[in-house]
Amino acid sequence: MPDRSRTDIQPGRSLILRIQLWLACVAFVIAVFAAVHFLMRLDLPEGLSRTEFDRAASHFREQYGSAPDRDDTLHWLAKRSLQEGNLDVALACLRGIGWDHPQYGLTAKLSEGELLIQLNRAVEAETCFRTFLERTESRLPSDSPYLATAWSWLCYLYSIELRFEERKELLTQLHRTGRASINESKQLFFPSLLIWNSARGRERLNSFLSQTSDAAVLNIAKGRYLTGEGELAQAQSHLELWQERLNNDPSCTAALLECLYEQNDWTAFEEVLKDASVQRDEEPWLLLLMRGHDAIHKGEWNEAVQRYSAVLDRDPSNSPALMGLAQAYRELGQEDRSKSMLDRVATLAVIRPRLSSIRESNLDAVEELAEKCDTLKLSEAARTFRAHAERVRREQRPETISPL
């Protein structure tokens, strides 16, 4: 008789195997779902809760009638949080939006930088705008409004922090695009003539320091503001501390030398300058100016001409450099050159108090400034301010309607 014992149990075993396989598949699907849900939770920006995110997604669906993806939700929540003044949540959302998102990416990153400035987190804002430029300058057209916005905000930060060399680089790029404002043109062509030591500038710098008290660039600027206010002892103490921390950083050295120069403390001045004796290819303008003052003090007239000329190559409207150059030329017996420098100083003395009135609502003042630039042989500046006046007049001109 045939043995049926094995074949009799095959159907039962097969059923068990099918059930086990089905259970394994279900377990796998559940595991995948749980893993995806967990990763979504991990993918939320730091500082944003799952509850806030889910609530925003629900509001998005109600408003637009479609299910949002992650970046849709973050963008919606960022806008709502800004309206409600919940800036920390807004910042978390903006940081969570990907750079390459075709709709939100660029505006989110610019908004992030602007919000960081609003929060007085200047160092983070600079990093944000710098990163934006690094990632976009090569792929956006040079006249892109996105680039212009990033350049303008960095110029604002550098103005508060008295970083005029770096600001000039950005202003030059901005002017090439044709998007520079009249105020930005004043900053480009008259960087040291504008009154930088304003109460508003000091107040904003102190706000920046309240959020990032250990930032070197902010503390160097603080020392210069103190010098400008006449708080020379406090400025010297502050800058000496940072000079030691920064191991003779050239910008800090220049600020400390400026403070000592204002005190007429030539002994301390020479001691500090001795540690800065190795000249770099691109020294801060202020350090070059201090080297010129040092040469004048020592009676080294040719050296003074070289130092002050280097300053004027970078900042043609620098009145202290022009006055120093006038003195050096006079000592060298070059009276005509000396008088030429003093004439330029006199013209700049006329311009300086009027710079605040140079704006789009006062085109006569803009055109008068262009004429003064001609006198100073600043041809590019003259062309730029005339172009501003023509642009504003063109924008203000009423459109004519041709007859039928």
Residue 218: pLDDT over 60: yes
Residue 194 pLDDT level (bands cut at 50, 70, 90): confident
Tell me which of 40-44, 167-171, 247-251 is least confident: 40-44
Q: What is the pLDDT of residue 181?
A: 92
Residue 302: pLDDT over 50: yes
Q: What is the pLDDT of residue 4?
A: 44
Domain boundaries, the chain: 50-189, 246-392
Residue 41: pLDDT over 60: no
Residue 356 pLDDT level (bands cut at 50, 70, 90): confident
Backbone angles phi, psi at 4, to 5 degrees: -100, 5
Average pLDDT over residues 182-207: 91
pTM of the model: 0.84
Tell me which of 85-99, 275-289, 389-403 is least confident: 389-403
Average pLDDT over residues 85-101: 91
Average pLDDT over residues 338-361: 93
Q: What is the pLDDT of residue 43?
A: 75
Phi-psi category of residue 47: left, alpha or beta, with phi > 0 → left and psi -120 to 50 → alpha: left
Distance, in Å, from the CA atom of 226 to the CA atom of 182, rounded to the nearest integer, reads: 29
Q: What is the pLDDT of residue 175?
A: 93
C-beta of residue 165 within 8 angstroms of C-beta of residue 314: yes
pLDDT tens digit sequence for 235-292: 999 999 999 999 889 999 999 999 999 999 999 999 999 988 666 668 999 999 999 9
Average pLDDT over residues 150-176: 94
320 by Cβ neighbours in 10 Å (0-12 / 13-18 / 19+) ranks as middle
Q: What is the pLDDT of residue 248?
A: 84
Q: What is the mean pLDDT of the chain?
A: 88
Which CATH number applies to 50-189? Answer: 1.25.40.10
Domain 246-392 has CATH 1.25.40.10: yes
C-beta of residue 275 within 8 angstroms of C-beta of residue 308: no
Residue 32 pLDDT level (bands cut at 50, 70, 90): very low
Decide whether 50-189 matches 246-392 in CATH topology: yes
Residue 178 pLDDT level (bands cut at 50, 70, 90): confident
Q: Among all chains, which residue has been given the structure tokens 């500090």?
A: 272
Residue 104: pLDDT over 70: yes
pLDDT tens digit sequence for 61-78: 999 999 999 999 999 999
Work out the percent of the chain whose per-residue pLDDT is above 70.
Answer: 86
